[in-house]
Structure 1
Amino acid sequence: MKKKILVVDDEISICLLLDNFLSKNYEVVTINNGLDALIWLDSSIPDLIISDIQMSNMDGYEFLTKLRQRGFTKHTPCIMLSGKSESKERIKCYKLGAQDYLTKPFNPEELDELVKKNLYPIHYAIEW
């Protein structure tokens, strides 16, 4: 059974890009805003979440905060995407509970490594 990845981004092109890239190895669900993602999470639990920071309705910081306040998604790995590369943005995400932070435009190979690291942390380390 494929691992399930939730992608939350209000840019349709990013959702399509991530779905196209990740769906070869994973089941991918794309949702275009944080509010709808939280509603979807009421009935589904993904193995990994990839979320943009700059979104309308609810930004990625608020989404991540609400994600971590829920008992059943409190420990779900989350990779944050942003067009900003400043370290203060990364630090804020880490303090809110993100496992990783990737700057757009991103290298697909780096995304692949981050996804594997978060989905298979023990096995990934053994392969070294």
Structure 2
Amino acid sequence: MTTILVIEDDPLVRNNLEDILSLENFKFISASNGLEGVASAKTHKPDLIICDIMMPELDGYGVLRSLQQDSRTQHIPFIFLTAKADHSDCREGMELGADDYLTKPFRPKDIVNAIKSRLARYALSQIQYRQQQEDQQSLERQVSEQSKLSEIKENLLSQLTQDLREPLSNINLALHMLSHAKTDTERDRYIEVLKQEYNREMRLLDNASNLQDMITPQNIKLLRQFNLLKET
């Protein structure tokens, strides 16, 4: 159930607001001055606050400033209620972060419409905020996956470079021995070595090309799942 905090020092106005909220099936909490209202807001964390401006102990502006400085209450929709209709007062309240401004005397439907409008707007902002958070997390995951892919490809390239050196070394040695061979048998043996090392080299190059195509986030996840690829 939606909870509304009413901060109002006038008992008659406070009772009228409570009656209106009860008829609309809102749960309400009441406070008779600003200090009491701030304490109640921080304790109960209501879904919306209706607050008078001119009050003893702490006025409405002081209430809003105090709530704005607390991360637990700074996002609660806040409606000012006052007998003053001066434009400068409205502007000051809005600049402090108030969501709406209603003047006394008020009609029940004005209060109800303001509450429903601010609750709907707040719910929409929360949905948009969660979507932004999800988008940000998704982007961070993509960046992390790309970073891991680049690291894995770099490691594979380093390993491939090492693997290619051995056949090249053998080919170089076989060419040297072939140039000094004295019989056909020796030449045939070194030619066979050259063929084998050449084929080995080509297989490594083919495998490298295939590995590049196979390195995807999905495949890496499967390899790690079956302990075929260690975390880097």
| 1:113 corresponding residue in structure 2 | 113
- Identify if the C-alpha distance between structure 1 residues 62 and 123 changes in structure 2 by more than 3 Å, giving closer, same or farther: closer
- Identify if the C-alpha distance between structure 1 residues 122 and 6 changes in structure 2 by more than 3 Å, giving closer, same or farther: closer
Deviation at 1:42, TM superposition (A): 3.1
Deviation at 1:108, TM superposition (A): 1.3
**Aligned partners of 1:34 and 1:56: how far apart in 2?**
7
1:72 aligns to 2:72 (yes or no): yes
**Are 2:80 and 2:101, in contact at CA under 8 Å, matched by a contact in 1?**
yes
**Aligned partners of 1:62 and 1:91: how far apart in 2?**
15
| 2:84 corresponding residue in structure 1 | 84
| 2:18 corresponding residue in structure 1 | 19
Deviation at 1:36, TM superposition (A): 1.0
1:56 aligns to 2:56 (yes or no): yes
**Aligned partners of 2:123 and 2:75: how far apart in 1?**
18
Task: Determine helix, strand or coil for the equivalent of 1:51.
Answer: strand
Task: Determine helix, strand or coil for the equivalent of 2:102.
Answer: strand
* Greater CA drift, 13-22 or 35-44: 35-44
**Aligned partners of 1:122 and 1:52: how far apart in 2?**
21
Gaps of 5+ in 2: 125-232
- Identify if the C-alpha distance between structure 1 residues 98 and 9 changes in structure 2 by more than 3 Å, giving closer, same or farther: same
**Aligned partners of 2:59 and 2:34: how far apart in 1?**
7
1:32 aligns to 2:32 (yes or no): yes
Instruction: State the Cα deviation string for residues 59-100 of structure 1 (Å, max 9, x = none).
Output: 001111111111111110000001011110100000011000
**Are 2:5 and 2:41, in contact at CA under 8 Å, matched by a contact in 1?**
no
**Aligned partners of 2:116 and 2:41: how far apart in 1?**
22
Structure 1 stretches of at least 4 aligned residues deviating more than 3 Å after TM superposition: none
- Quick check: which one's strand share is greater? 1
**Alignment length, in residue pairs?**
123
Instruction: State the Cα deviation string for residues 26-80 of structure 1 (Å, max 9, x = none).
Output: 0011110111122223321000000000001100011111111111111100000
- Greater RCO (Cα-Cα under 8 Å, separation 6 or more): 1
**Aligned partners of 1:41 and 1:21: how far apart in 2?**
20
Identity of paired residues, percent?
36
Code of the aligned partner of 1:18: L
- TM-score (structure 1 length as normaliser): 0.91
**Aligned partners of 1:107 and 1:18: how far apart in 2?**
10
* Greater CA drift, 58-67 or 32-41: 32-41
Code of the aligned partner of 1:61: Y
* Greater CA drift, 19-28 or 91-100: 19-28
CA RMSD across the alignment: 1.5
**Aligned partners of 2:15 and 2:57: how far apart in 1?**
20
Task: Determine helix, strand or coil for the equivalent of 1:30.
Answer: strand
| 1:10 corresponding residue in structure 2 | 9
